[in-house]
Structures are given as C-alpha cells and as structure tokens.
Amino acid sequence: MLTSSHDLNDAAHAVSIPHLRARAAALPRLLTTVARVLLGLTFFVCGLNGFLHFLPAPSTAMPAAAVAFGGALFSTGYMIPLIAGTEFVTGALLLANRFVPLALIVLAPVVVNIALFHAFLTPTDVSVAAVVLVLELGLAVAYRRAFAELFVARTRAAAR
C-alpha cells in the first residue's frame, strides 16, 4: 500500500524503468525494419518501373553527360533490364525479409553507382541518392555480423 508521495514516486520509477529499457531495446529493431522496408520499396518500385515504365520521366532536362551515360547503358541492350531485374528482385527480398544480407551485397554496387552518378553527373539532384546510400549503410551496420566472414584476410576453403 502506498503511504506517502515518496512511495508513489518509487512505484512509478520501478514501473517505468523496465518499460523504458524494453522500448529502448526495441528501437534498433524498429529502425532496422523501417530502413529495410524503405530501401526495399524504393528498389522494388524502381525495378518494376524499369519494365513497366509507370513512373513519369523527370520534368527537368538532364545534363549531357548523364544523358550520354544513360544512352550507353540503354544501347547495350542488356544493362537496363539487368539493373531493373536486380533492383526488383533485391527489393522483393528486402520487403519479404529474406536473404537480407545477400540482397544488401548485391545492391551495394548499384547504390554506389547511384550515389556517384548523382554526385558527379547530376549534383543538384543528390538528395534521393544520399537517402538510399544512408539506408544501405545503416542496414549494412545492422547486419554486420552476417558480413564478418567476408572481412577475414586469409581463410581456408571448406573441406568437403
């Protein structure tokens, strides 16, 4: 039974600390889930757009170097479908929460290219690229244990 204001403060403190700790422990998982879903949606939609062309084209003119780069990718006949397919599949994996470390590894060169394309060829339009880069890096940190074996300087092949 509570007999004084001190008892009331102690009871409130005892209830709130474990509750706050539980919420603080859940925050990284929530942020990881939000980042994974945002990155997954971005690449799923953009990859699907590579095949169905439902998003509107940019209304502003692109710099000549950016147009030349895009034209070179398109003229190969396979790069745009390969990039779109990669984005679609990895976006689906991220959304489904399946093979997330693999999806992040496959997306890494795509994300680097997006960031560098916008940094060097369209520097006025770098905001979306920066968000994608931050999401990719944040998820790489969140899943860092899955990548630990990749950063071993010398290793032996697995015995059969």
pLDDT mean over 129-151 = 95
Confidence of residue 6 (pLDDT cuts 50, 70, 90): low
Q: Check pLDDT > 80 for residue 32.
A: yes
CB atoms within 10 A of CB 41: 13
CB 90 within 8 A of CB 106: yes
**What global pTM score does this model have?**
0.82
The DSSP code for 148 is G
CB atoms within 10 A of CB 126: 16
Q: What DSSP string describes 4-57?
A: SHHHHHHHHHHHHHHHHHHHHHHHHHHHHHHHHHHHHHHHHHHHHHHHH--SPP
Residue 158's Cβ-count burial label (10 Å; 0-12, 13-18, 19+) is exposed
Domain ranges of the chain: 5-149
Each residue's pLDDT tens digit, 19-30: 777 777 778 899
Each residue's pLDDT tens digit, 58-106: 888 899 999 999 999 999 999 999 999 999 999 999 999 999 999 999 9
